Amino acid sequence: MHMIFPLAIRASEILGVDADLRLLWKEIKENLVTMPETPRRSGASRGGYGAFVYGGPGAIEPLGTEPELKSMFLNFNRTGGFIDTTGIGGAQIFRNRLRLREGPGAIDAEHIGGLASGIHSSLLTNASELPGKEPVIQLFSAWPKDWDAEFRLLARDGFLVSSSQRKGRVEFVEVISQCGRECRILNPWTDAKVSLFRADNKEEHLDGSLLMFPTQQGERVVIVPSGTQLSQLDHRKAN
C-alpha cells in the first residue's frame, strides 16, 4: 500500500487520467499506518536478514575490509526470502552458490532471474528515493571497494550505462541515451567536481552529490573526475 498509491498517483499524472481520484489516493497514502523499521524477532520469519530458509550465522568469514557488506554475499545461510533482493547474494553469488541447488541462489532455470538480479543490483541501481519519484542511477552501490569490476547495463529511461571500479575508485561513467531523457546520477566521486564530455568532446563541469544533465536520443556522454581527459582512458573505455 505504501508503494502502490504513490505509483498510481505518478502514473495518472503521466497519462493525464483519473485526476478526480488523485486527491483520494493522496489522502489514503498520507494516512497509512507507518511501516515498522525493526526486523522481526519472533515467528516463522524471524531472522536479521528477513530469512525464511535459514536463521543461523553464516559459515564463511569475509576477508579484508567491509566485512558486513561481504557477509551478505558470502554467508549462504543468510539467503533471505525470494523477494529479498539484498539476501539474494549479489555479485559474489558465484563464489559459493554454483554448487547449491536449493534456495534463491540456486542456478536451476527457475532461479536464474534471482542470480542475475543480485549481480545487477550490486553494480547498478536506479530506483527512485520514494515510490513515484524520478529514478536516480547509482553505481557500485552494494559492491565491495576492494573488488575490481566493470559493467555495461541498461538503466531506466533507456540509459545504457558503462563503468569500472579499480582499487576502490570509479574510473569513469559512460551513458548512451536511447530515449533522450534527462539523466540523474548519484555522483560516484561523492560531491567532487566532474567533467562531462559529449560528441564534440567539449568539456562541461558539474558538481554536487546529484549529477543532472539533459540528453538527446542516441547521444553518448562520458563523465570523469575533473582534470581527467578522455585520452587518459584506454581505447576500450573512451570509445
Of 135 and 128, which is predicted with more confidence?
135
Q: Let me know whether 26 and 58 are in one domain.
A: no
Q: Let me know whether 100 and 143 are in one domain.
A: no
**CA nearest neighbour of 25 among 13, 46, 8:** 8
Domain boundary among 123, 144, 169: 123
Judged against a pLDDT cut of 90, whether residue 70 lies above it is answered with no
Predicted pLDDT of residue 134: 85
How many residues in total does the chain contain?
239
Output phi, psi for 44, to 5 deg.
Answer: -65, -25
C-alpha–C-alpha distance, residues 171 and 189, integer Å: 9
Judged against a pLDDT cut of 90, whether residue 88 lies above it is answered with no
**58 — pLDDT class (breaks 50, 70, 90):** very low
All three cell numbers of 201, joined, read 568532446
Q: Let me know whether 103 and 89 are in one domain.
A: yes
Q: Let me know whether 146 and 174 are in one domain.
A: yes
DSSP state of 44: T
Looking at beta carbons, which pairs linking 111-120 to residues 24 or more positions away fall under 8 Å?
Answer: 114/82, 114/88, 114/89, 115/88, 115/89, 117/85, 117/88, 118/85, 118/88, 118/89, 118/90, 118/91, 118/93, 119/90, 119/91, 119/93, 120/153
Q: What is the mean pLDDT of the chain?
A: 76
Q: Let me know whether 112 and 134 are in one domain.
A: no
**Residues 6 or more apart whose Cβ sits within 8 Å of residue 88:** 79, 80, 104, 105, 114, 115, 117, 118
Q: Let me know whether 68 and 141 are in one domain.
A: no
Q: Which of 1-5, 44-48, 212-216, 230-234 has the lowest mean pLDDT?
A: 44-48
C-alpha–C-alpha distance, residues 186 and 138, integer Å: 5
Q: What integer is the mean pLDDT of 18-26?
A: 92
All three cell numbers of 154, joined, read 541498461
Q: Let me know whether 149 and 231 are in one domain.
A: yes
Domain boundary among 123, 157, 172: 123
Q: What integer is the mean pLDDT of 15-31?
A: 91
Predicted pLDDT of residue 233: 76
Judged against a pLDDT cut of 50, whether residue 149 lies above it is answered with yes
C-alpha–C-alpha distance, residues 30 and 24, integer Å: 10
Tell me the residue range of the domain where 53 lies. 40-123
Cross-strand pairs, 197: 203, 222
C-alpha–C-alpha distance, residues 46 and 42, integer Å: 5
**34 — pLDDT class (breaks 50, 70, 90):** confident
Q: Let me know whether 110 and 136 are in one domain.
A: no
Predicted pLDDT of residue 173: 97
DSSP state of 186: E
Judged against a pLDDT cut of 50, whether residue 109 lies above it is answered with no
C-beta separation of 106 from 70 below 8 A: no
Q: Let me know whether 231 and 130 are in one domain.
A: yes
Query: Which CATH number characterizes residue 133's domain?
Result: 2.60.40.1180
Predicted pLDDT of residue 93: 52
Q: Let me know whether 74 and 28 are in one domain.
A: no
Judged against a pLDDT cut of 50, whether residue 221 lies above it is answered with yes
**82 — pLDDT class (breaks 50, 70, 90):** very low
Judged against a pLDDT cut of 90, whether residue 187 lies above it is answered with yes
Q: Let me know whether 150 and 177 are in one domain.
A: yes
Judged against a pLDDT cut of 50, whether residue 76 lies above it is answered with no
Q: Let me know whether 216 and 137 are in one domain.
A: yes
Number of domains in the chain: 3
Cross-strand pairs, 185: 137, 211
Domain boundary among 123, 158, 185: 123
Q: What integer is the mean pLDDT of 191-215?
A: 93
